[in-house]
Amino acid sequence: MTSSPGRSGTSGLPKIAKFGAETPMSRNDKKPMAAGFRRLFNSRHGKAVFPRAMKDELQFEAFLPFVSLQADDKTILTRGGELIQCIRVDGLNSMTASDRDIALLKETVAELLAQQGERYSVYVHKISRPFKATLAPVEAGDFAKEVDAAWTRVVAGRTLRDKTLTISIINRPAGLFGSLSAGDKLKEIFSRKRKTDALQAFIANKTERLTDLDETVGVVVATLAQLKARVLTGASGELIGFLEGIGTGIELPAFPSNDLGVLARSVCNYRATFRGTRVHVTGGVVPNRVGHVFTIKNYPTGTFPGMFDELNLPIDMVITNSFVPISDDRASELIRRNLEQRRGSGDAAETDQQMLREGRNKVASGLETLGSHHMTVAIYAEDEKTLARAAADVRQIAQETGTRIITEAFAGQGHYFAQWPGNATYRARTGLISNHVFAGMAALHRTPTGLTGDLLPWGTPLSVFPTPEKSGYLFSFHPAGEADKEPPAGHTVIFGPSSGGKSVLISFLMTQAQRVGARVFAFDYLRGLEVQIEALGGSYTTISPHRPTGLNPLFAETDMAGQAWLSEWLTALLNRSERPLSPVQTQQLHDAVVQTATAPDHLRNFDGFPSLFRHLDDNGDLEQRVREWAPGGRYGWVFGGNVADNFALDQNVMGFDMTAVLDSDNEKERTAILGYIFQRLERKLQDRHPTIIVIDEAWNALGTEYFADKLEKWLVTARKLNAVVVMVTQFPSQLDKSRAGAAILQGVQTQILIPNRAASAENYAALNLNDREMGIVLGAPTGSRLALIRNASASVVVDVNLAPLGDQLKILGGSKTGRAAFEAYRARHQKKEEIA
């Protein structure tokens, strides 16, 4: 059902009517005034120090409902006998979620509301807070440190925000205890003749309701498990910090006081003063600030999930939605009256009447629940000018949804207190809406912010990127894992158009990976990473037929594990589909490997290796195949002529230009070179030091029969050895052409997609993108530097515009421009060293 127009009035403001144009409230004063302070207040010195008006000053805690935190450390008892538990959820990213997932979340929340019944009310709070990026410092490499320092300044200047989403489930008492007013329950208990029985009845009733609340909250947490729902506790500092943050716009850890007194006193760690439509927050642990509280005057004609998602301003903000259900009988009666009034007044809006009739049927059949709704948007700033700008933005965003919001002076004080769960009596403007409408208006939408260091196997995120929603995303290759256990798979594939920024992004991530001192081995194409590798203090080598490769597996792989690998690898290398090796040839090949492993150093090469097969009765077939890899053979440039193995992975950052290998389109050469280099890498990784292996044009480099069989196992091995393999290609469709494509997609946890307006949906069919994700990839604005990051836990759009890095960006981009910038950078540093 659509919402009805909100009503004005202040019937829900008991006691508040005493507030004037300027109404201060004391901080942590007891009621009545504490005896010790009263004596001081009335003494000669007190009269000289304290204003006499303090005697009549209203007390903040008196307007909050919280009495005590129960023994379970998660349930709050209110003055009205209500029991409250608060659930924190991560939320759904509405920018990348599918329409189906957004609608499903809305329906799920609506069903939860309907199942709880009228004895439960619900508050949903979205509190905006500054985004905090906590990353380990970059300590190695001058260039890496300078890039990190520059990027840190860029991110700090973006005023990024995060949000918390909290659902408060409120169990309302029924029967005798539910019918009494907030202050009369204890009076009723102690006015009875049998006080003990009455107290026991109250405790039994509370215990029963507490069990019911636990079950209800358990259902909510289980149902919203995908949003990582969890219950807030006092010991964590989150529960009291959340309640305090409702009134200040700043959510900080806070804990319940050990002193005797109501729990509200632990929440009132500041002073709130009302002046007209403003609330001034002073004292406590938050900076002095001024706030506006908006509420709905006229509801929109229609609602949809995420209609208020645009309220992501760079300012502290608290958005509160509350829903207090009414009985089905009362709901049906209200709808009946509304229909009669419309018919009696000759209302010609037949569509509205039809919607009301449908709503009545849904209520009668239990498909829909009605309740009174109240929404506030509280914004806070440290000066009036900033507040005024934000207020104008809030009004504009609300207007775009068809919602009219207002601020009020007198009733505004009630709106302020109505933000707290358990304070429904202070709600001055409410509208009758359905559970489905509420689920849309209070949509649980939030941009994911990535994983913090305590959840990552490398102990820190590698970098942070802004998002279009003005939030921040902590980037890491890995999903959640523990540093002292086997790391989860962090393998990544990057898709993007030619000259679309892939090399810049890869270079930036390699640079940021120096935060963990990661080794980098990059298998490059067209020398795209040469400058960047050198800037990181690494070496760059070209593997081509025009220069010795230094590769000699017969010299290096001599232990038992090496012999086993060498036998298998040579078998794959020498085998031919039209004439497979016979069992005798395979055995002879193994025997020759074993014999060579024990030979003197000068004999462990491909020069004399073919002669070991001369005696084999196969008309010289195996000898001829082996001789192709000896000096003078068709593939002799790969291993032939290398008396020893000079291929050393002895630096932390190394790049290898594979252009000649990839352009030759010769599968045998790719299998030989990459197969052996990966074997050497696997040995190097045995120390389990964090390592990144970059493979450019991965679909081509790994698209051989050998890797099609081995890649999945090799990716698992690399993961166990604490390595991340980053593969780069233009389109996912290229993987369909590669025999290793299936293994790549199955073994990779993280995908980074750089938008490509020239591509088509067919190019990305292998990734199963939803409509929103596809729209981002194919329709990102020209000139924008966005990237879509997808992993097991999130799908998020980030801003990878590195232009503010200036000359450092030129180096990260490589090419001739990057080379010139790097030479100038190196000259500056050499001059500084000479001066020093």
The pLDDT, as a whole number, for residue 719 is: 96
pLDDT per position as a tens digit, 20-73: 334 444 334 344 555 555 666 677 666 666 665 555 566 788 899 999 999 999
* pLDDT exceeds 90 at position 386: yes
Q: CA of 464: how far to CAs of 472, 473, 554, in Å?
A: 7, 5, 45
DSSP state of 50: S
Closest CA to 342 of 359, 330, 354, 331: 354
State the chain's mean pLDDT as an integer. 88
Residues 694/508, Cβ–Cβ less than 8 Å? no
- Round to whole Å and give the CA distance between 332 and 553: 83
The pLDDT, as a whole number, for residue 194 is: 54
Half-sphere exposure of residue 342: CA atoms within 13 angstroms, side-chain side: 17
Residues 6 or more apart whose Cβ sits within 8 Å of residue 835: none
Mean pLDDT, residues 497-502 taken together:
90
Continuous H helices in 79-194: 99-116, 142-156, 175-179, 185-191
The pLDDT, as a whole number, for residue 22 is: 43
Give me the phi and psi of 562, to 5 degrees please: -65, -40
Residues 6 or more apart whose Cβ sits within 8 Å of residue 519: 652, 653, 689, 690, 691, 692
C-alpha 747: how far from its chain's center? 22
Residue 530: how many CB atoms within 10 A of its CB? 22
The first and second tokens of residue 339, run together, are: 């229909």
The first and second tokens of residue 402, run together, are: 């068809």
Q: Which residues of 67-102 are buried (b: 16+ CB within 10 A; e: fewer)?
A: bebbeeebbbbbbbbbbbbbbbbbbbbbbbbeeebb
The pLDDT, as a whole number, for residue 36 is: 58
Mean pLDDT, residues 378-401 taken together:
96
* pLDDT exceeds 50 at position 735: yes
The pLDDT, as a whole number, for residue 747 is: 83
- Round to whole Å and give the CA distance between 243 and 149: 36
- Round to whole Å and give the CA distance between 443 and 305: 6
The pLDDT, as a whole number, for residue 9 is: 36
Q: Which residues of 245-256 are buried (b: 16+ CB within 10 A; e: fewer)?
A: bbbbbbbbebeb
In terms of CATH architecture, what is 463-546+652-805? 3-Layer(aba) Sandwich (3.40)
* pLDDT exceeds 90 at position 228: yes
Q: If you search the block for the tokens 């260091």, which residue do you land on?
A: 453
Lowest mean pLDDT among 117-131, 229-243, 289-303, 740-754: 740-754
pLDDT per position as a tens digit, 245-298: 999 999 999 999 877 678 999 998 898 999 999 999 998 888 999 999 999 999
Q: If you search the block for the tokens 């007190």, which residue do you land on?
A: 46
Mean pLDDT, residues 417-439 taken together:
94
Helix (H, G, I), strand (E, B) or coil at 703: coil
Helices 99-116 & 195-223 angle (0-180, nearest 10): 160
Q: CA of 539: how far to CAs of 207, 603, 650, 688, 712, in Å?
A: 70, 30, 10, 21, 29
Residues 6 or more apart whose Cβ sits within 8 Å of residue 617: none
Q: CA of 311: how far to CAs of 400, 401, 438, 796, in Å?
A: 11, 11, 17, 18
Mean pLDDT, residues 558-586 taken together:
95
Of 702 and 462, the one with more pLDDT:
462
pLDDT per position as a tens digit, 313-371: 999 999 999 999 987 667 666 666 665 665 655 554 555 556 555 555 565 556 688 89
pLDDT per position as a tens digit, 647-666: 989 999 999 999 999 888 78
The pLDDT, as a whole number, for residue 361 is: 58
Residues 542/524, Cβ–Cβ less than 8 Å? no
* pLDDT exceeds 60 at position 585: yes
The pLDDT, as a whole number, for residue 687 is: 96
**pLDDT band at 835, cuts 50/70/90?**
confident
pLDDT per position as a tens digit, 4-27: 333 333 333 333 333 333 444 433
Mean pLDDT, residues 185-214 taken together:
73
pLDDT per position as a tens digit, 796-807: 999 999 999 999
**pLDDT band at 831, cuts 50/70/90?**
confident
Mean pLDDT, residues 472-501 taken together:
93
Helix (H) or strand (E) holding 561: helix 560-574
By residue count, the chain amounts to 836
The pLDDT, as a whole number, for residue 380 is: 97
pLDDT per position as a tens digit, 505-537: 999 999 999 999 999 999 999 999 999 999 999
Domain ranges in the chain are 22-63, 65-441, 463-546+652-805, 555-637
Residues 113/435, Cβ–Cβ less than 8 Å? yes
* pLDDT exceeds 50 at position 94: yes
Mean pLDDT, residues 471-477 taken together:
97
